[in-house]
Amino acid sequence: MKGFKMLKLGLILSAYCLVGCVALAAVYNSTSKVIAQRQADDLRAALQEVFPTADSFVPTDKVKSPSEQIVFEQAFTANAGGKSQGIAVKVKGPSYGGPTTLLVGISANGTVTGVKVLENNDTPGLGANAASSTYYVNKTTKTTFAGQFAGKKLTDAFEVKNDVLAITSATITSRSITGLVQAVGKAAGEALGIGQSTTVRPVELVPGADEAHMAAAQAVSANPSVTVLETWAVTREGTVIGAVAKVEGRGFEGKITGYVGLSQDGTITGVVLVSSGDTPGLGDQVLKSSFTDQFVGMKASDPITVGNGVTAITGATYSSTGAAALVKSAADALEKALAGGGL
Amino acid sequence: MKRLFGIFLNGIVVENPLFVIMIGLCSSMAVTTTVANGIGMGVALTFVLVMSEVIISAFRKFIPDSIRMPVFLVVIAAFTTIMDLAMKAYFPALSKSMGVFIPLVVVNCIVMGRVEAFASKQPVLDSLFDGLGMGLGYTWVLVVLAVVRELLGNGTLLGRQILPASFEPMIFFILPPGGFLVFSLWMAVSNSFRRKLLTRSKPEPTTATCCALPDSSTVEKA
């Protein structure tokens, strides 16, 4: 008899739960679309805010978070007129009162285009001022805490109370947000080929150029030992005047990575080799500009091999040969890409 | 009609949930940093309270005593979630600024307390008025708390700058200690007013007949 009573109570309780669930399902169905739509609109508006010059945002997975505590929830390439202008990342990381979420825009020329605090659970009146649009860290110029990052160079120190103005009585919040912006800057910079470790800016490899855009399609190397990692189209006042490729090839023992710029007429305009896995003091001498500058002015159609216009580094013939092959393959690939109009 | 009005008034002053019964204080301290949050939270709680009281009062004969708590919780949780979803969809800014406190209405002592002490024993109409009274009693307290805290702590009201720019905001009032101070001062004011009201209307018939809990000191402090 007691078992029957328990069963009855259980059934009654489940009846209430069932009705509750049905009601919730109905409400969820009617609101979920509105909520999703609103969140998408919010994100889109926020992206536009941190990247005012872009007109479309395409999700990308190229940007990788440097640590487990910092989560890159979403990343977008910001495009204008079909050309990539940079990267915007929605990043979540720890702050004083729990996780904080930011949207950070990084342009292809290595500056922060904007920062917006999407979520922040820090102390109201102190750390929460990070998200406020009326709290100014600089009252004379009416700069908000997040607003001060716009236009900041990735090569800056990002030090609170030095080149970043702190929020009064909220140093931890200020530091964590600054750190997140810098982390995004670093990761996006690497993805865009403007990382701090390699200060190569594609636009500088072609004289007279004023802008470099990520190319829509990669140039393809015909040499199997050389890989084109990234390709940029370089323009002057909107007209393509050349192209730059980030390439990786084989040296003596390790890999050589570098950038090669080629003008529209097939002349090599700039070569920068950024890393070499070869013997320190010998093979890695190919990174020196005294070696790389000899390529400038050569044509992509030239043979470009050691002995054929290229002078090898003494004691590092293999590395020099590898570097020359790298430049030759990159130039060939770029010339093909430029001729094909695929940029 | 007079009886219903008495029930309504009961929640607003005589048995105000925050100042007299003193339940549900945690959220009141947390959300009253801005007036907009205070109003939002008050409206949200009033909605959940009224709906839960009405439904539970209507079904009070079909809720076995031994499982009443889980059933109350199911009803309250359902209405809280409905309101949370509706707020997210139609008032996203408010929903964002109140954060976790909206879902936490589920465990707000006021809702559970009134459902248990009142709605599970009283007819639907009485419960409706009790819910409205208690909800409004909660809301006005949140608003007066928030007005003082936002004005002194931030120099604004409803986000608009009220005090001149030369006024340096006293952040103390936004922080929890300031909340406690403002709360206790308001409680002193409200309770001295309540005492006057009760002594003046001593033979008031409504207070004696309407309330399930005529003596607030017997209410278990949740």
CB < 8 Å to B85, chain A: 27-28, 31-32, 35
B32–chain A Cβ distance below 8 A for any pair: no
CB B38 within 8 A of CB B212: no
CB < 8 Å to B161, chain A: 134
Size of interface A-B (CB pairs under 8 A): 64
CB contact under 8 A, B96 and A119: yes
Interface mutation vs chain A, best among B71, B76, B120, B161, most A CBs within 10 Å: B71
CB contact under 8 A, A38 and B33: no
CB contact under 8 A, B82 and A38: no
CB < 8 Å to B167, chain A: none
Closest residue to B70, CB basis, from A13, A27, A123: A13
As a whole number of angstroms, the distance between CA A144 and CA A251 comes to 49
Find residue A256's DSSP bridge partners: A249, A276
- Cβ–Cβ contacts within 10 Å for residue A36, how many? 11
CB < 8 Å to B63, chain A: 12
As a whole number of angstroms, the distance between CA A333 and CA A339 comes to 10
Low-confidence ranges of chain A (pLDDT < 50): 195-198
Q: What are the two backbone dihedrals, phi and then psi, of residue A279, each rounded to the nearest 5 degrees?
A: -50, 120
CB contact under 8 A, A20 and B82: no
- E strand segments, A81-181: 83-95, 98-107, 112-119, 136-138, 143-144
- Quote the pLDDT of residue A343: 66
CB A324 within 8 A of CB A305: yes
- Quote the pLDDT of residue B217: 46
Counting other chains too, the contacts that A167-171 makes at CB distance below 8 Å and 24 or more residues apart are A167/A126, A167/A127, A167/A129, A167/A130, A167/A135, A167/A137, A168/A126, A168/A129, A169/A126, A169/B171, A170/A96, A170/A122, A170/A123, A170/A126, A170/A127, A170/A129, A170/A130
Burial of residue A11 (CB within 10 Å: 0-12, 13-18, 19+) is exposed
Q: Output DSSP code: residue B14.
A: I
As a whole number of angstroms, the distance between CA B120 and CA B111 comes to 12
CB < 8 Å to B74, chain A: 13, 16-17, 20
CB A343 within 8 A of CB A231: yes
CB B105 within 8 A of CB B44: yes
B179–chain A Cβ distance below 8 A for any pair: no
Q: HEC states along A233-271?
A: EEEECCEEEEEEEEEEEECCCCEEEEEEEEECCCEEEEE
Q: Which residue of B has its CA nearest to A27?
A: B82
- Quote the pLDDT of residue B201: 66
- E strand segments, chain B: 156-157, 160-161
CB contact under 8 A, A12 and B154: no
- Quote the pLDDT of residue B202: 57
CB contact under 8 A, A124 and B64: no
CA distances from residue B137 to B10, B42, B206 in whole angstroms, order as listed: 9, 9, 18
How far does chain B reach from its first CA to its final CA, in angstroms?
Answer: 31
Token representation of residue A47: 């992206």
A26–chain B Cβ distance below 8 A for any pair: no
A13–chain B Cβ distance below 8 A for any pair: yes
Region for A54 from its dihedrals, namely left if φ exceeds 0, alpha if ψ lies in -120 to 50, beta otherwise: beta
CB contact under 8 A, B153 and A125: yes
Find residue A101's DSSP bridge partners: A92, A119
B69–chain A Cβ distance below 8 A for any pair: no
CB contact under 8 A, A119 and B66: no
- Quote the pLDDT of residue A219: 81
Q: Which helix (H) or strand (E) holds B57?
A: helix B35-58
Output the tens digit of pLDDT for each of chain B's 222 residues.
788 888 998 888 888 999 988 888 888 888 888 898 899 899 999 999 999 999 999 999 999 988 999 999 999 999 999 999 998 888 888 887 777 788 888 888 899 999 999 999 999 999 999 999 999 999 999 999 999 999 998 888 887 888 887 888 888 888 889 999 999 999 999 989 888 888 876 554 444 444 444 444 444 444
Which residues have C-beta within 8 Å of that of residue B94, sequence separation ≥ 6? B36, B37, B40, B87
Q: Rounded to a whole number, what is the distance in Å from the CA of B171 to chain A's nearest CA?
A: 6
Chain length of chain A: 343
**Tens digits of per-residue pLDDT, A17-45?**
999 999 999 999 999 999 999 888 888 99
- Quote the pLDDT of residue A161: 81
CA A278 from chain centre, in angstroms, equals: 28
Interface mutation vs chain A, best among B47, B68, B81, most A CBs within 10 Å: B81
Interface mutation vs chain B, best among A4, A31, A167, most B CBs within 10 Å: A31
- Quote the pLDDT of residue B147: 94
CB contact under 8 A, B86 and A23: no
Q: Output DSSP code: residue A153.
A: B
- Cβ–Cβ contacts within 10 Å for residue B204, how many? 15
Contact map slice: A 243-302 vs B, CB within 8 A: none
Torsion of CA A178, A180, A184, A185, to 10 degrees: 20
